[in-house]
Amino acid sequence: MVTIEMNAELSRAFTGEEVVSSLKQLHPTKSSGPDENQSAFMADRLIIDNVLVVYEIMHFLKQKKGGSDSFMAAKLDMSKAFDRVEWIFVEKVMRKMGFNEDWINLVMNCISSVSYSVIINGTTYGNIVPTR
């Protein structure tokens, strides 16, 4: 169970120092904003084709040093357990464990407000809103 003290610590306002410290811990090649997904995994390709394409993408990303364009590659595994958990279940478990409403609302906003789009050959497609 979550104690009163734990809830107080979780619910306190973030300090400027904590925000700066968190930002400084971000990896320089990781995205902190909107993401783009370059996918090479197609049914008519061999697995080795995918490996080569990913190698070339990673090489490109490591060599890119400047400019106004930002790129990233994402490896998605949609069969993780988290992808199968209903968000209402997460909310109910947090409530049962004693988390306060402010914390529950913050966590639920983080996991339920995300959306995705993909760029294929320079064209943006979709506004994919996950539901669990």
Q: Is 90 exposed, middle or buried (0-12, 13-18, 19+ CB in 10 A)?
A: middle
The sign of the torsion formed by the CA atoms of 130, 98, 93, 15 equals: positive
Task: Dump pLDDT digits (tens) for 93-132.
Answer: 999 999 999 999 988 888 888 777 877 888 888 888 777 6
- To the nearest 10 degrees (0 to 180), the angle between helices 101-112 and 4-11 is 50
Strand residues in 7-122 grouped as ranges (E)? 116-120
pLDDT tens-digit map of 41-96: 455 656 566 667 777 777 887 887 777 777 766 665 544 555 577 889 989 999 99
Report domain extents, the chain. 34-76, 78-132
Provide the whole-model pTM: 0.50
